[in-house]
Amino acid sequence: MTLSSSKALVPFVSVDHMMQLIHRIGVEPMLRGLADYIEADFRRWESFDKTPRVASHSPVGVIELMPISDGEAYGFKYVNGHPKNTREGLQTVTAFGLLADVATGYPVLLTEMTLLTAMRTAATSAMVAKWLAPRQAQCMAMIGNGAQAEFQVLAMKAVCGVQRVRFYDIDPDATEKCARNLVGQGVEVIRCRSREEAIEGAQIITTCTADKQYATILTDNMVGAGVHINAIGGDCPGKTELAPAILHRADIFVEYAPQTRIEGEIQQLASDHPVTEFWEVVCGRAPGRRSEQQITLFDSVGFAIEDFSALRYVRDRLPGTGLFLQLDLLADPDDPRDLFGMLQRAAPAPSAA
């Protein structure tokens, strides 16, 4: 499982190395690969030791730990969400993650996960849309054009075949940023002046806004029959994007219900409102899209299994690339019982009088 030549060294993937790895694989091939890994782990959902993420909330944001294990490997991600950071020239979300060997407890991979989270979030959205969106959906609306937007679009293109994207953001500069970044990427970019204009003709509607508030990005009368809604902006208590009436009209699919009922759109509903955990669809235990008129909603808050899948994917792609550093992270004395002796032997030599 380890990438290092010594059990005391842990491979670390920096931001620069992650960017090089993504370009070496290719953005769209990596998005497809991540989607495949995530789907494979959803198929073995019941083999995981699962828990809602551990969150520490403050008035300006949240810091979270997301642990998971399948009995052989253990992973966790540290991630924050601070919407006010953008106004200060900082990222709203930053993250790093670790993968460890359960048999020894030794870490086998440490990596940045700011970029990797954007990739895995987009891959998850597209993997779910492959199952729930209308057949041969080619047009999507992207409402909220921040740091996640281009990843979401390219994942929908790579996995679902989306060709046209209707963009809207309250900040026109954010839309222009997306249009500029997607030049030459094989998608038609349509700039829209309102949310209503953005969803015209879209079969997939993605909402990805950042403000920590009970917002109404989509009202009930904006959502017609037959669409798939990919709601990824609401991801903590007190932060939503959809009018409650939409939730009552839609068939709702979630990652892990105990977490989503606290953090997702369904925090607006009664605790017994029926939802389907998406792994049940993948495993054939529950239906996905059943009709052309059905409204499907993926109430996505992000779950640790998706990060576990992403960590596995990176671990499997690293050997032979050289795109990591070996960190001297673990104390490894010759005699496991003699940690103090190792410390003593590292003492500097006495200086000459």
Q: Which residues are catalytic?
A: 235
Alpha carbons 297 and 247: distance in angstroms, whole number: 8
Q: List, edge to edge, every strand of the sheet that includes 164-168.
A: 188-191, 164-168, 139-143, 204-207, 228-231, 296-299, 251-254, 276-277
Beta bridge partners of 231: 207, 299
Alpha carbons 328 and 8: distance in angstroms, whole number: 6
* Phi, psi (deg, nearest 5) at residue 198: -65, -35
92 contacts 211 by C-beta, under 8 angstroms:
no
Q: How many CB atoms within 10 Å of residue 15?
A: 15
- Tell which residue, 73, 118, 114, 121, has the closest CA to residue 97: 114
97 contacts 113 by C-beta, under 8 angstroms:
yes
DSSP label at residue 236? B
Alpha carbons 70 and 46: distance in angstroms, whole number: 9
DSSP-derived 3-state class of residue 52: coil
Q: How many CB atoms within 10 Å of residue 246?
A: 23
